[in-house]
């Protein structure tokens, strides 16, 4: 799905993020967000860098646990992994506020772990992909231009994280509204994720 070169590229960004084409956007709870303008779509892609005050193993487990995501993320309406012709994919339907239509995503995701310079690093790469079995649904807008890559390592007690994110939600949504929503949406997602991490042991215990 993803090449060794793609993983190596993101590994380098953890300690030396490439921000040459990005501008500072916002900062919240120790996490800095940078953005880059896309002339074609009128939207931005984002890079976030900062610390999350939870152990890295827990942070990675929560981020990749699709079943748990449905418990703590109220915007998730459907989320599951599937397989088609030996290729694994993820289907994700997201609730948008009224009167906007829900959006859905079909994408591939791959995780790898690395030991580099004395650090154990988790990398999770995801991007849009087409699957014949996942046709567009009536009343739901398909987001077919999506990228989300996350890199985690320990900063001693908590987690040092890097994220690169872009999506084009399509439909009749003004670009200024999408860009405005990102300013609170990205830090908001990270804040909810911290809460989810702190409740993860309790969730796992409830499944036994």
Q: Per-residue pLDDT tens for 107-135?
A: 999 999 999 888 999 999 999 999 999 99
Q: Where are the alpha helices (DSSP H) in the chain?
A: 4-15, 56-64, 66-72, 175-198, 200-206
Q: Measured between alpha carbons, how far is 3 from 144 in angstroms, rounded to an integer?
A: 21
Q: Write the CATH number for 192.
A: 3.30.530.20
If one compares 27 and 197, the residue with the highest pLDDT of the two is 197
Structure tokens, 113:
């772990």
Structure tokens, 52:
């999350």
Q: What is the pLDDT of residues 72-84, one digit of tens each?
A: 999 899 999 999 9
Q: Work out the number of other CB atoms within 10 angstroms of the CB of residue 41.
A: 15
Q: What is the pLDDT of residues 147-161, one digit of tens each?
A: 999 999 998 889 999
Domain count, the chain: 1
**Residue count of the chain:** 208
pLDDT given for residue 106 in this prediction: 97
pLDDT given for residue 42 in this prediction: 84
Range of the structural domain that residue 24 is part of? 4-206
pLDDT given for residue 172 in this prediction: 67
Is the separation of the CB atoms in 121 and 151 below 8 Å?
Answer: yes
* Whole-structure pTM value: 0.90
Query: Strands 23-28 and 76-84, how do they pair?
Result: unpaired
Locus of tokens 């418990």: 71
Arithmetic mean of pLDDT, 82-105:
90
Strand partners, 23: 35
């Amino acid at each position: 799905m993803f090449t060794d070169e793609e993983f190596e590229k993101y590994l380098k960004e953890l300690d030396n993020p490439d921000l040459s084409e990005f501008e500072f956007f916002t900062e919240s709870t120790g996490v800095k967000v940078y953005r880059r303008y896309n002339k074609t779509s009128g939207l931005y892609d984002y890079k976030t860098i900062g610390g999350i005050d939870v152990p890295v193993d827990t942070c990675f487990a929560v981020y990749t646990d699709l079943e748990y995501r449905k418990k703590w993320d109220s915007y998730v309406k459907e989320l599951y992994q599937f397989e088609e012709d030996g290729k694994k994919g993820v289907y994700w339907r997201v609730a948008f506020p009224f009167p906007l239509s829900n959006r859905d995503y079909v994408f591939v995701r791959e995780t790898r772990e690395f030991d580099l310079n004395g650090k154990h690093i988790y990398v999770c790469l995801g991007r849009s992909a087409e699957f014949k079995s996942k046709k567009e649904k009536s009343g739901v807008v398909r987001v077919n231009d999506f990228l989300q890559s996350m890199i985690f390592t320990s900063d001693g007690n908590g987690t040092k994280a890097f994220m690169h994110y872009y999506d084009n939600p399509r439909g009749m949504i003004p670009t200024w509204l999408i860009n405005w929503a990102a300013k609170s949406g990205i830090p908001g997602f990270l804040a909810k994720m911290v809460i989810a991490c702190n409740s993860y042991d309790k969730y796992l215990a409830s499944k036994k």
